[in-house]
Chain A
């Protein structure tokens, strides 16, 4: 927050643009794009800096995981395809501004007419960009007859099967469009989603949303592995942005996968996983470690010393039993036991208060990106759902699957252009 760049990129710095913005209001998306005149910095040197918005891939996938999440799923309520495209263009323009620490509209929170409702809600005034990324995805339900997209539904966007033990709540599952907002400051993430929802009134309706904190997996080797609410390091063996070759094979869709419009995109699976926190907390340390297959302190695979030591599933202890049990989470989820299927996990802890019985309404909002959920998330989760010792302490209550289009290339481009043009 103290560095000069953070201050320069702050929303207050935009006030001078208010008058310039006034001249072009009404000219729409193109005009507001031109206000994005400062080139985004290539790397976020501090947690107040912006990440680039434009690029081959959307930000918010391999971007080093930020601390906070506000995730939202929308239903599209307009039946007019042109209106939907227009909204995506307006959203893109707003996202380009918001991610650079600017206000949602050209007048901003205090730059407009006193009689007018401000075109930015204002709670992020004075805050820097805070590493905000906005990532959009399209749910399978968008590819119905309404917008003529049925023929463009990617094969990889196949409905997820019913997994044993899940208790999905339809009201907090699915959606036509999702937006993942990640930032180092929750105020900034909430501000972004709130303003996008407002821009969308009449065209989309918020179906459900989720706040998250304390990212539970690192997506970069520069980051320490964070812990989930069970106290274990999560994502030790995650796909990371440094794994160029694996990312090409396992993360980014290509035109050869069957849907040309998804080239450079990826598929996002979301699962809200409620944890039985109280019963977990009275489980012995040894049992907790056996369930995960790692020790709690270091995160090392059982039988090893350090977090990143290779997992040895064959190794046995003095009692002749494997260090890592047959139903341990790490064994069931490991790529080596799943035809080398990797996921890029980007989950967040959530606590939605308490549940009225005095229990923490808490758990993991799991987000995973991949090239083809049919080959990656589905087989891994099917195996976990059937066998994982952890299942005694968790319950999947929400599910989502979204096709995240490629990145926005420049100010003339927009989220989903390849799908709609």
Chain B
């Protein structure tokens, strides 16, 4: 969770800077004229005088002076009151600036004296050609941000898998059992990316039930069975070697992969689908019962992808962002109830009712997450 939170914080900080412009929200003296190229907005308790009703597409800076007695807010709304830009807490007597990137279209500028109600509205027409630089840039930043996450996770995946493999080869069964869910955490956070590379994912993560008769079985779950059921890993040296080789290969490929924003959106959904189909049922770690480690990692990985897209979603589907925040929090709270020490309760320690609560929380989150892909492509 920590990594995801750090990532989202970074993204939010960027957004804040962009929204508040060079002034960073700092006040300029009351009554000062708007600088050239800026549109002055004279806000009072009863009026919202915007110096222009038509601008060209691209970047527009609004300079809002609050001459009233109430704290006010200024918004640029796209149809449906979709927030294109907003500036809150403009104290009486102050002037603050807001930079908005607006493609051609019909908008409304809104002052909200007292920060309540529908506000005082004016039409704003935006004309001309504007490459949706802002959106492309934000989508590109979303992908870049997520790739930084993949890099961080995969670096640790290599370290932890190596530790696990070393323990297996040294036949330190207890140590290997301890490391098994930990190494998998980093794997499960980025698995949708790994799945892009066809046959490597099964080589690393196939369950016995996935195999046809006579197929070779390698990877984490083969070793899991030997650790927990056979209680003997003396013959697993070659399997362990292959595991670390495969993981290295996939990490290289994942870091080199060209991802699209849709990969992020669909990956976020696939991770929750993994939880809903494999982890809730205990099928993933059928011998170790460490499914909740994977569950947590899937949830974190999903959140990281969603948060990377957040600036875009804030623009295009702010309601969806609020729903996602709420449902992520609910899913995390449901899972947190099963923390045990540094890890989690085992799957077979959970009652049917507890599993149902977890399942409900995942379903509640997966539905809004399935709306991200259309939101970022519209």
Task: List residues of A whose CB falls within 8 A of some B CB.
Answer: 26, 77, 112-113, 115-117, 198, 201-203, 205
Contacts and interface: CB of A to CB of B under 8 A. Distances in A.
A202 B360 CA distance: 6
Contacts of A112: 374
Nearest to A204: B360
Interface string B6-37: 00000000000000000000000000000000
List of 8 A-B pairs having minimum Cβ-Cβ separation, nearest first: A202-B364, A116-B374, A115-B373, A113-B374, A205-B360, A117-B370, A201-B363, A201-B367
Contacts of B199: none
Interface string B262-305: 10010000000000000000000000000000000000000000
17 contacts: A26-B80, A26-B319, A77-B360, A113-B374, A113-B377, A115-B262, A115-B265, A115-B373, A115-B374, A116-B373, A116-B374, A117-B370, A201-B366, A202-B327, A202-B364, A205-B359, A205-B363
Contacts of A202: 327, 330, 360, 363-365, 367-368
Given A77-B364, A113-B374, A116-B373, 5 more contacts: A77-B357, A77-B360, A198-B367, A201-B363, A202-B364
Contacts of B363: 201-202, 205
B111 to A, nearest CB: 24
A116 B327 contact: no
Contact of B364 (A26, A117, A201): A201
Given A201-B363, A201-B367, A202-B364, A113 B378 contact: yes
B356 interface: yes
A349 to B, nearest CB: 28
Given A77-B360, A202-B327, A205-B360, A115 B367 contact: no
Contacts of B366: 201
A207 to B, nearest CB: 9
B268 to A, nearest CB: 13
Contacts of B378: 113
Interface in B304-361: 319, 327, 330, 356-357, 359-360
A113 to B, nearest CB: 4
Interface of B: 80, 262, 265, 319, 327, 330, 356-357, 359-360, 363-368, 370-371, 373-374, 377-378
A117 B370 CA distance: 7
Contacts of B80: 26
B368 to A, nearest CB: 8
Contacts of B370: 116-117
Contacts of B364: 77, 201-203
B371 A116 contact: yes
B365 A205 contact: no
Contacts of A26: 80, 319
Contacts of B374: 112-113, 115-116
B46 to A, nearest CB: 30
Nearest to B366: A201
Nearest to B317: A26
A77 B363 CA distance: 12
B72 to A, nearest CB: 27
A116 B371 CA distance: 6
Nearest to B378: A113
Nearest to A198: B367
A197 to B, nearest CB: 9
Nearest to A171: B352
Contacts of B327: 202
A205 B374 CA distance: 26
Contacts of B368: 202
A201 B360 CA distance: 7
A77 B319 CA distance: 21
A116 B266 CA distance: 10
A198 B356 CA distance: 16
Nearest to B363: A201
Given A113-B374, A113-B378, A116-B374, A205 B356 contact: yes
A339 to B, nearest CB: 41
Contacts of A77: 357, 360, 364
A198 B366 CA distance: 11
A240 to B, nearest CB: 40
A318 to B, nearest CB: 58
A115 B360 contact: no
A202 B368 CA distance: 10
B326 to A, nearest CB: 9
Contacts of B359: 205
Nearest to B368: A202
Contacts of B265: 115
A115 B366 CA distance: 15
A203 B360 CA distance: 9
Nearest to A113: B374
Contacts of A198: 367
A112 B262 CA distance: 17
A203 B327 CA distance: 11
Q: Which of A26, A115, A201, A203 has the most CB of B within 10 A?
A: A115
A115 B375 CA distance: 9
B289 to A, nearest CB: 23
Contacts of B367: 198, 201-202
A170 B374 CA distance: 41
B13 to A, nearest CB: 29
Nearest to A112: B374
